[in-house]
Amino acid sequence: MERKIIVAEDDSLIRMDIVEMLKDNGYSVLAEARDGLEAVEKTLKYQPEILLLDLKMPYLLGTNVAKMLKEKSYQGCVIMLTAYSSEDYIKEATLNNVSGYLIKPLDEKILISQIELLYKSHSEKQKLKKELEKSNQKLKERKNIEKAKGILMKKYSLDENEAYSKLRKVSMEKRMEISMLAEIVNATGDFV
């Protein structure tokens, strides 16, 4: 599978080498960035699956690029490239959703295998995150329905099944999600 990637590296020779390695291994290089500002702009524009991001770049450090992308809800895999292995940089990168940290110089086989490993880990984490969000949303909807049933039970002296049937009937008649109808009942205390 051809993965879409952006390479953000201020050293043009290193950037060219990385791009060549990636292309030789089936990656689609969407863009190249020479500095941190370009990295932010091009990542948000092209939304690559992977961003290879140098730590020390002009205008904006890689950690600050990662921070900006996190604030803009970028969901791709950010992999930091650096010749520095400072704990402070690693800690800051981790806080900004960086999936991994690779030390230069880069051997082709190691680079490709590490990218694949980090991308797979990132993808699994994203999948779990989406499943958790979906479960939380369903729980919230269920709570809204339960609350709406309680309101209808009290207002119309209905039992639980009758209140649910009333919600379901109106949602079907109006072709409205029952969870949306429940929100309306919860907000207004009624529906006619």
With 0-12 / 13-18 / 19 or more C-beta atoms within 10 angstroms meaning exposed / middle / buried, residue 7 is buried
pLDDT of residue 82: 86
Q: Prior bond to 105 cis, omega within 30?
A: yes
Helix (H, G, I), strand (E, B) or coil at 53: strand
CA-based nearest residue to 8, from 72, 45, 68, 58: 58
Q: What is the pLDDT of residue 87?
A: 74
pLDDT for the residue numbered 190: 78
Query: Residue 192's pLDDT is what?
Result: 58
Whether the Cβ atoms of residue 86 and residue 118 lie closer than 8 Å to each other: no
The number of beta carbons lying within 10 Å of the beta carbon of residue 192 is 3
pLDDT averages per 10-residue partition of the chain, 192 residues:
92 96 97 98 98 95 94 96 76 81 89 95 94 96 96 93 94 94 92 64
